[in-house]
């Protein structure tokens, strides 16, 4: 069985897409975020809007990745662009936190964890890994 570069790209893009489209729903639609009584109702509204938008884009991206037909590479690049926008916006929000007094985690949410002697944020860790996979998928496409 030979190496199928296109299948590998599709699998990488699918993993990256599931990361922003499904994992965020699982991670955020619970008592630490969307149903957290300590959050204002308006903040919870925006979060649910955000994660359901991500889910919609992810479903569209998965169709672009796996649907048969012409323009396979173009569709993969478009699906990759969706992921790049979501992950890029995350890192912009992370880097600009001092401008709006933001925090990467909430005291009643997912706390940072210790690994290899470092204190790591779950979102930063997962989204960094998925961004590397996205870049690998784009490079292989």
CA-based R_g, the chain, Å: 17
| Tokens (6 digits) for 87 | 């992950």
What does the pLDDT look like over 13-62, one tens digit per residue?
A: 999 999 999 999 999 999 989 999 999 999 999 999 999 999 999 999 99
Return the residue matching tokens 């199928």.
4
Ranking 12-21, 51-60, 69-78, 116-125 by mean pLDDT, the lowest is 116-125
Rounded Cα distance between 139 and 141, Å, is 6
Core vs surface per residue 57-84: b (16+ CB within 10 A) or e: bbeebbebbeeeeeebeebbbebbebbb
Cβ proximity of 7 and 131 under 8 Å: no
Beta-carbon contacts of 67 under 8 Å, excluding residues fewer than 6 positions away, are 75
State the DSSP code for 22: I
What's the pTM value of the predicted model, to 2 decimals?
Answer: 0.90
Length of the chain: 141
Cβ proximity of 25 and 51 under 8 Å: yes
Rounded Cα distance between 35 and 45, Å, is 10
Cβ proximity of 65 and 76 under 8 Å: yes
pLDDT category at 2 given cuts 50, 70, 90 is low
């Amino acid at each position: 069985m030979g190496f199928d570069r296109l299948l590998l790209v599709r699998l990488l893009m699918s993993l990256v897409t599931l990361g922003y489209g499904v994992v965020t729903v699982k991670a955020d639609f619970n008592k630490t975020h969307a149903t957290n009584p300590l959050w204002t109702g308006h903040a919870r509204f925006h979060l649910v809007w955000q994660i359901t938008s991500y889910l919609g884009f992810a479903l569209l991206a998965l169709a672009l990745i796996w649907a048969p037909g012409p323009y396979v590479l173009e569709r993969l690049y478009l699906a990759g662009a969706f992921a790049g926008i979501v992950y890029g916006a995350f890192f912009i929000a992370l880097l600009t936190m001092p401008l709006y007094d933001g925090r990467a985690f909430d005291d009643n949410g997912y706390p940072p964890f210790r690994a290899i002697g470092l204190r790591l944020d779950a979102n930063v860790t997962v989204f960094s890994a998925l961004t590397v996979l996205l870049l690998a998928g784009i490079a292989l496409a």
